[in-house]
Amino acid sequence: MTPRPPDTEPKLRLRDVRKRFGAQMVLDGIDLDVMPGESLVVIGGSGSGKSVLLKCILGLLRPDAGSIVIDGAETVGLDGRARDRVNAHLGMLFQGAALFDSLPVWQNVAFGLIQGRHTRNRAEARERAMACLAQVGLRPEVADLVPSELSGGMQKRVGLARAIATRPDIVFFDEPTTGLDPIMADVINDLIVATTKDLGATALSITHDMASATKIADRIAMLYRGRLIWVGPAKQVFESGNAHVDQFVHGRADGPITDETDKTPARSGR
Amino acid sequence: MTTLLALIGRVFLTFVRTVGRFSLFTGLAVSHMVRPPLYPRLIVRQMIEIGYYSLPVVGLTTLFSGMVLALQSHLGFARFSAEGAVATVVVISLTRELGPVLAGLMVAGRIGAAMAAEIGTMRVTEQIDALSTLSTNPFKYLVAPRLIAGLTMLPLLVLVGDIIGVFGGYLIGTTKLGFNPGTYIARTVEFLQIMDVVSGLVKAAAFGFVIALMGCYHGYHSKGGAQGVGAATTNAVVSASILILILNYVITELFFAQ
């Protein structure tokens, strides 16, 4: 059997990933492949398990069962330095940006560079942080401010700069446009597309904002009650032929999706 | 009957889960305290926060405790003509008990609460998750520096507090109770044993560790937004205070039980 060329191997492969909190099955056998350079967006309502899926991939939660392979290596069960080595190739933009309050903006951006041993030189780290800030459209004066002095949109930009500072192979975006006005949301979407393209990185995003999903996705997957019920090209999401997907993407109250998931939200805490 | 049994079972399971979680947390925290790499910059920052900025609170507490102790013991001892023992009582009470316990309780209120609030806020705003994704172990970055600083700074604080407390007793003794300054100092030193001070400092180290551990533990496991952080802060202070009082007895028993 001849081995397949490397670029046909998925960058990220999930097989039968399951996660339960108490009696509630949050992820119920997720199978997913994300190819190198691809941007895949997982959509779904609140409590559908999107954040838990992301946390399992990032190693913040341990799945009860299943396999998560990143760059050909199994990552489920990795701890300590082995996990850090995997994470060194990943970037993450958190929903609320999750900037460190106690550090100025440039140190937030350079954090991964210094901690991940990409550089030990603070001057060099600062220089690279400034370049990343420029890349996301922030002026140099911002570098010495603390996160609480920034607007929500600026915090998202700094979060994006931090996520790309180490030039990761895979970038994850957790609800990147939540809480932003439509114009700022579009700016962030453009930045996400531009920066991931510039890095040549693979992107996995989770969102319930369809404008964002269609803008940044090559493929879209829909998560409903812990299962992926539809995966397809982004262009086809509005003609999927799946009643659940149709209801979600058109934002209709009537349809097969009830607000049952809202009554029993998925817990992502530990 | 079934409901009662279920309730007992649930309480027992919660207890076992909490003990297990706390033991794992403590084990991990201690292992990261002694394993490199450490973060000297963060350790120094915490030392300043715990040691330097707590000095006024601890100083005032021990100063007035020393003063009250001198007054009260003088009033009491006068009943059987033993006023001469005031200086000795002040210094032994302060070094063995009041210095470490009062400093511990004050620092638990100031530092334990601050640690729980800071780490709790980091938890609910996903900053701790962000640390992990940036190849940084939260135990090493957040918990270990605080534990090291608590363990080392409390004894220093207590040492300074002891001196200030004795000075408080001296002030009252010489200005209000009519002691000769030289005699008061001589009496202070005469019956003081090295073990009195050492036991107090050992207590202080244990209290510092417990305060930091409780602050970090409750902050690290806080959830549910602002309310969760508030609860974590309260739990950190209450549990640290109770543990200080329990540990105080245990260490006293270890040092001085006949």
**Which pLDDT score, from 0 to 100, does residue A7 have?**
58
**A213: which 2 tokens?**
């999903």
8 A C-beta contact, residue B209 and residue B151: yes
Would the pLDDT of A266 be above 50? no
**Do the domain assignments include residue B12?**
no
Q: Please give the average per-residue pLDDT across A221-236, as a whole number.
A: 90
The residue among B115, B123, B131, B133 with the most chain A CBs within 10 A of its CB, best to mutate, is B133
Residue B18 lies in a domain: no
User: Is A260 a residue whose pLDDT tops 60?
Assistant: no
Segment A184-211 shows an average pLDDT of 88
Shortest Cα distance from A87 to chain B (angstroms)? 6
Contact A87 B121 (CB under 8 A): no
Number of folded domains in chain B?
A: 1
Q: Does residue B29 belong to any structural domain of this protein?
A: no
Q: What is the pLDDT of residue A262?
A: 47
Which among B122, B133, B136 has the least Cβ separation from residue A58? B133
Say which residues have a Cβ less than 8 Å from residue B126's Cβ, sequence separation at least 6: A94, A95, A96, A98
Q: What letters, b where the CB count within 10 A reaches 16 and e where it falls short, cover B133-149?
A: bbbbbbbbbbbbbbbbb
The answer to whether B132 contacts chain A (CB < 8 Å) is yes
Please tell me the distance in Å from A239's CA to the nearest CA on chain B. Answer: 36
Q: Is residue B145 part of a domain?
A: yes
Predicted local confidence at residue A1, as pLDDT: 40
Q: Which of B121, B125, B132 sits opposite A87 (nearest CB)?
A: B132
Integer Cα distance of A201 and B151 in angstroms: 45
Q: List pLDDT tens digits, range B217-235.
A: 999 999 888 889 999 999 9
| Alpha carbon of A166: minimum distance to chain B alpha carbons (Å) | 9
Evaluated on CA atoms A80, A86, A87, A89, the torsion sign reads positive
Please indicate whether, in this complex, the C-beta atoms of B127 and A99 are within 8 angstroms of each other.
yes
The answer to whether residue B103 is domain-embedded is: yes
User: Is the Cβ pair B129, A96 closer than 8 Å?
Assistant: no
**Which among B126, B136, B221 has the least Cβ separation from residue A96?**
B126
Best mutation target among A99, A100, A169 (most B Cβ atoms within 10 Å) is A100
pLDDT of residue A259: 64
CA-based nearest residue in chain B for residue A172: B133
User: Which ranges of chain B would DSSP assign to H, the alpha helix?
Assistant: 2-34, 40-47, 55-77, 86-93, 99-107, 113-124, 127-133, 138, 144-175, 181-190, 194-220, 225-256
Q: Does position A68 have pLDDT exceeding 70, yes or no?
A: yes
Instruction: Identify from B129, B140, B220, B229 which residue to disrupt to test chain A contact, counting A C-beta atoms within 10 A and taking the largest count.
Output: B129
Q: Report how far Cα A178 is from the mean position of its chain's Cα atoms.
A: 13
Q: Which residue segment(s) compose the domain that B232 sits in? A: 36-256
pLDDT digits (tens, 9 = 90+) for A101-158: 989 999 999 998 888 666 668 888 899 999 999 888 889 999 999 999 998 888 988 9
CB pairs under 8 A between A and B: 54
| Nearest residue in chain A measured CA to CA from B137 | A80
A101 to chain B, minimum CA–CA distance in Å?
Answer: 9
Does a structural domain hold residue B1? no
Domains in chain A (CATH in brackets) are 1-86+217-270 (3.40.50.300)
Give the minimum alpha-carbon distance from B211 to chain A in angstroms, rounded to a whole number.
22
pLDDT of amino acid A117: 63
B127/A101 Cβ within 8 A: yes
Please list every residue in chain A whose beta carbon sits closer than 8 Å to the beta carbon of residue B137: 80, 84
Is residue B130 within 8 angstroms of chain A, CB to CB? Answer: yes
pLDDT of residue A49: 87
- Name the residue in chain B with its Cα closest to that of A164: B134
B13 inside domain? no
Q: Which of B121, B133, B221 sits opposite A87 (nearest CB)?
A: B133
Residue B196 falls within a domain, yes or no? yes
Asked if pLDDT for residue A264 goes beyond 50, the answer is: no
Identify the pLDDT of residue A36: 92
Which chain A residues are within 8 Å of B136, Cβ to Cβ? Answer: 84, 111, 115
The string of pLDDT tens digits covering residues B27-59 is 999 999 998 888 899 999 999 999 999 999 999
pLDDT (tens place) for every residue of chain B, 258 residues total = 778 899 999 999 999 999 999 999 999 999 999 988 888 999 999 999 999 999 999 999 999 999 999 999 998 888 887 888 888 999 999 999 999 999 999 999 999 999 999 999 999 999 999 999 998 889 999 999 999 999 999 999 999 999 999 999 999 999 998 889 999 899 889 888 899 999 999 999 999 999 999 999 999 999 888 889 999 999 999 999 999 999 999 999 998 876
Dihedrals phi, psi of A121, to nearest 5 degrees: -90, 115
The closest alpha carbon to B33, from B123, B127, B124, B143, belongs to B143
CB-CB contact of B144 with B32 (8 Å): yes
More confident residue, A46 or A221: A221
Which one, of A45, A234, A118, B59, lies nearest residue A129 by Cα?
A: A118
